[in-house]
A and B are shown apart, each in its own frame.
Chain A
């Protein structure tokens, strides 16, 4: 591990944000708390997707399969078999890991190109959706309703939106830190070489299959855990929300707008776009149906055109150019 990882871990900014954020549930009206929780869910999801989509450069559309497994399966295990949801979380994560490893292996074995990979991951996600809809055990098309959250921690209950906030904050931070860790570890180097030039990566000793599988599995396990926590917050396991490609598209969008491949870019994208989307919907949803989508779309297009590498690099440039920034002060040349 490079020392940079420990610097981030020990950074006062990280701990400062956490300490400032911790009391938010007591301060925010419930509508805004909901938006914050939703943002944290997407910070975690976009960061988990970034490991495959950003670092390894593989546009996977299978993310909803892992979120959906974490959400629908753990719920079904509890309701149908009485299995504790903590155990359900682990079982779902293990199954997500296996599905992820299988997809990565197929990609490697059949040397899928970029487009084939996108299409095959989409096909897996769609198949997951069909399985859920067609199988009553997983709730079928009507979904599953979790028992009320009475705050029993041992039953995976966190006491409604206050608890959900802290759980999501924790998961968001963990997902971002996993990104930081990978980028500062050998795996980050391997994934970036694979992304840039797979054959040349192999030629300098990179085991392409092993690290593609590793990226996909880490990404899927995180997504699955977030899925389980998310469904606990929502209480209703809705297949059309949790295992639909729409949620993947949103994640890809947030990660891309924030900055693919970087540790903080996807988080930044989610933190900006989720509240924007929710507020636009709240303000304009009643005015003209679809207007908020339109404005949202324009914002996204503008960002991508203005800063194709995402918002994070743009912010970094602005930060370096801020008045008084030492690094960019023009050199004083003696006349």
Chain B
């Protein structure tokens, strides 16, 4: 059964149609990759699903019930969490404090602190528990975004470009974490520009261009799709 269903979602910002009639569904245990050129509407799609910017029309269902209008923090408690493309920092807290707050979603405080330390180790931030997120490198900030998501024990994670800006070697750690999470049954939807990463992780892909879904299929099929080549790969492959 589908864990997450997006049905005819449209999002308007004034006159701008950022998403137009987008539909797809994500099965329990899947890794769905979402790709599309800059400004295609990928982040807007995540905001619409996760309650930060509800759709202008259409429906989003999580685990069979509509979640349109449900606040983001409630969705986190129900097991749906997103990461942010623009990494969110906290000025006066340590990374351990931030991840502990996320862990408090489902655990009492002492357990939450231990679990947060464990999660930081798991994403590769061991030893950086007492730094403030502001002072972390870009790579570490991205890993912190991942750690915050993990600490809430989600059933479904929306990852918005957690590998962007990293070198190939730096993506090893997050890729391993995503794989392992997925093995444990967590459903993953990820937006990524780094094609080699998404090609090896995704079990299925959705392509968005100018706010519309233009293709959907296995990674192997997607790279052969003429619309996709025109809209997306063309510019990248020529470069």
A interface with B by C-beta (< 8 Å): 1-3, 184-186, 189-190, 192-193, 195-197, 199-208, 261
Contacts and interface: CB of A to CB of B under 8 A. Distances in A.
B142 interface: no
A180 to B, nearest CB: 14
Given A203-B88, A206-B73, A2 B109 contact: yes
Give the dominant DSSP class at B's interface: helix
Given A2-B113, A203-B88, A192 B93 contact: yes
Contact of B88 (A190, A200, A206, A208): A200
Contacts of A204: 76, 81, 98, 101-102, 105, 148, 151-152
Contacts of A202: 71-73
Q: Which size bracket describes the interface of B in this complex?
A: 20 to 34
B88 A205 contact: no
17 contacts: A186-B112, A189-B104, A192-B93, A192-B97, A193-B90, A196-B91, A196-B93, A201-B101, A203-B73, A203-B148, A204-B98, A204-B105, A205-B73, A205-B102, A205-B152, A207-B71, A207-B73
B84 interface: yes
Which secondary structure dominates where chain A touches chain B? helix
Max chain B CB contacts within 10 Å: which of A3, A193, A205? A205
Interface in B215-232: none
B92 interface: yes
A198 to B, nearest CB: 10
B173 interface: no
B130 interface: no
Contacts of A206: 73, 101
Contacts, number: 80
A199 B123 CA distance: 23
Interface string B82-113: 10100011111100011011101100011011
A195 B113 CA distance: 20
Contacts of A196: 89-93
B77 interface: yes
A193 B72 contact: no
Nearest to A195: B92
B104 A197 contact: no
B59 to A, nearest CB: 22
